[in-house]
């Protein structure tokens, strides 16, 4: 259950309308998903959140878009964010993630989660070879 009520007519606020227009243009779609509709309760928070997400997820970088979505989904699983898990897995599929890749992805997430918990419990010291050295 949501903790806030989204605005009934979010685009009546010019700041919200501008962000929604940018989302539509960036994604090439008229669909504005619930995360943005709910964040519209605070136009400043909406603007800041969209700017950051756009800069990371919609700006070309060394990581391809499908990989970014898969990483976002993995972090969302680790943080137990159901909404983000669903939306970023859907985005990864839209960007070409195959069923076989999704199965491998789930195996990696499960394995990483298990070994992270084990190593957090054991407090194994990090090998010197894994540490960044100042050059």
pLDDT in tens, 1-12: 999 999 999 999
| pLDDT band, very low/low/confident/very high, at 135 (cuts 50, 70, 90) | low
pLDDT in tens, 44-69: 999 999 999 999 999 999 999 999 99
Residue at a domain's end among 43, 59, 75: 59
Residue 113 pLDDT > 70, yes or no? yes
Q: Are residues 76 and 120 in the same domain?
A: yes
Tell me, yes or no, whether 81 lies in a domain: yes
Residue 134 pLDDT > 90, yes or no? no
Name the domain count of the chain.
2
Tell me, yes or no, whether 38 lies in a domain: yes
CA distance between the termini of the chain? 51
Tell me, yes or no, whether 130 lies in a domain: no
* Residues 50 and 19 sit within 8 Å (Cβ to Cβ): yes
Residue 84: which domain range? 61-124
Which residues, in sequence order, are CB contacts of 40 under 8 Å at separation 6+? 6, 7, 10, 13, 16, 19, 20, 46
Q: Are residues 101 and 87 in the same domain?
A: yes
């Amino acid at each position: 259950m949501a903790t806030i009520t989204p605005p009934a007519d979010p685009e009546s606020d010019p700041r919200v309308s501008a962000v929604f227009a940018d989302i539509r243009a960036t994604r090439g779609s008229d669909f504005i998903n619930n995360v943005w509709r709910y964040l519209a309760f605070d136009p400043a928070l909406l603007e800041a959140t969209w700017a950051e997400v756009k800069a990371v997820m919609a700006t070309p970088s060394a990581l391809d878009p499908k990989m970014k979505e898969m990483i976002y989904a993995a972090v969302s699983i680790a943080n137990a964010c159901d909404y983000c898990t669903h939306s970023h897995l859907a985005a990864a599929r839209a960007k070409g993630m195959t069923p076989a890749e999704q199965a491998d992805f789930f195996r990696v997430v499960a394995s990483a989660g298990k070994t992270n918990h084990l190593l957090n419990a054991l407090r194994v010291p990090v090998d010197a070879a894994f540490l960044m050295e100042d050059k």
